[in-house]
Structure 1
Amino acid sequence: MTGATDGAEVVRDRADRGFLAVDSGGSGLRVAVGTVGRGVLARRESREPVRTGDRGIDAAHLIEQLVPMVRASTVEAGVAQPAAAAVGAAGLATLGDALRAELPGVLARAFDIRRLALAADAVTAYVGALGSRPGVVLAAGTGLIALGTDLTRWRRADGWGHLLGDCGSGAWIGRAGLEAALRAYDGRPGGSAGLLARAEELFGPMQGLPGKLYPRPDRPAVLASFAPRVAACADGDPVAADILRAAARHMAETAAAVCPTAGEPQVALTGGLSKMGDPLLVPLEEELSKRLPRARRVPADGDPLLGSVRIATDLATGGLTLPSDEAMLSVLTRTG
């Protein structure tokens, strides 16, 4: 009888363990606090994206936003001391040295957090979409990156930014659409009168486009803002349709580069391009079927914040089985 009672206490103890989940991305900072048994109990959001500077991700800027949000969320949720935390951050893989050095100590001092997972945003996007299942997640929005795992290691492809890569992304589609518009404006082959008209609706006269685009620090987002207009033209415009077919080829090639070779891996699409509709999604399905005949396309379970929640709850209960990787996913445990 005592053993049964002890077992119930263990189950209850695990269910009561609190967690902190954080998603820092291009649109801002999001925080969720809850318990393993009851799920998310409080959320906070900041629309101010964390800055990057000479040292990469600006750890001080993230911390000054994060600490008050976590403090308010823990009070609301009634979770005085989260047992574990997971922080997913855009740029962590290549720009995260300062954040890795400073954030663990801050969370330990402010909230006595002893177990912390630091994850690249591609990892939290993966876990939000597929959980701990083998496969590949194609995160396609303004930029584009594919992350795959066979649960022994992570593999990534692209994510090199709009100047060197992100092939098939929103910025890539927008740039190709604007190039076709400028070809029509000049009278060169390969132009599209329909895309020219839509570009002038959005940006004004074409001769002023370089001055509006080149000085902008958010050029990828400006380019990506034209992608929906390319999709809107695709039904009756062969140039626009060809751009989306080329984007679909790039996306499928990137997914195939990291997809596990054994078994029946799952493939999920996340990000803004998942809402582009049939002009992009139909050719993408065709390209994925050609390049990944064994893979099974599945809808994404959720977003990167859900990925952080899943990692944090697994860490709180000792059930985290995802592969560790110094750049992509690392777990820090504080003792004493």
Structure 2
Amino acid sequence: MTPSTISRHMVAWAQAAPMALVFLAFFLVPLALVVMVSFWDYNDYAMIPTFSGRGYTESFEGCLTRLPEACTMLKTYGQTLKFCAMVWAITLVVGFTVAYFLAFHVKSVTWQIALSLVCTIPFWTSNVIRMIAWIPLLGRNGLINKTLVGLHIVDKPIEWLLYSQFSVVLALVHLFTFFMVIPIFNSMIRIDKSLIEAAYDAGASGWQTLWTVIVPLCKPGIVIGSIFVVTIVMGDFVTIGVMGGQQIASAGKVVETHLNALQFPVAAANAVILLGVTLMIIAAMSKLVDVRKEL
């Protein structure tokens, strides 16, 4: 290697070193500690720093000897995946629609930027505040039930509007749709408008143009938005706990419960399992498109 090449490599390493150190200190090291603690033993009072797989075996205790339906942990992960799939599907439809409107129906770049900033307004407040704002609307004596009863649409308040799977999905969609809008919008504004005009000139209908031109070119944005939404929903426990009335289980809720009980090894084991499941989902999504080109 020539001196100039060595110099360029040294500059590149020097530029990458600060971020690499931050990544090492605040991600890799804590993750390694969590994995290490997940293999420790424990009792009712303390952690015991000896190698043990008890945290993993107790999490899925009985799953191998009983029917899968009787395994509480598998049912919990199944419910978490169901929430994740429902929220993903709804945020994808809503996010794609909003992004499509901004990219193709708003002609002015100024208005595109302005409306994109409007989408960020809910993020000016805490997630918790935006979440609990649904309670006065969805409650038994909330605005929606009072309106429905007052208009004689229903005879009595609807119970399942709050503290149910419906309210959990509604709150999660409200909180995280923005994470789907921006990546898709970023992909859409890069589409060459002449391709769409060519599709119309070739006789393609609006739906044909959408499915054969726009959606394939937006695939990177869809995948990135999906990764954001899936990652957040898989680990969420606050929204599910509050909007589910502390009656709905989730993988993140299991970790929180063990942490509150000071059972750190089993909490760490469940966190590692949750991370593994989430990484498998992300890996499957990443196979659909080269995300690095979009970034």
TM-score range, shorter chain: under 0.3
Higher strand share: 1
- Tell which structure's C-alpha radius of gyration is larger: 2
Higher helix share: 2
State TM-score, norm by structure 1: 0.18
State TM-score, norm by structure 2: 0.20
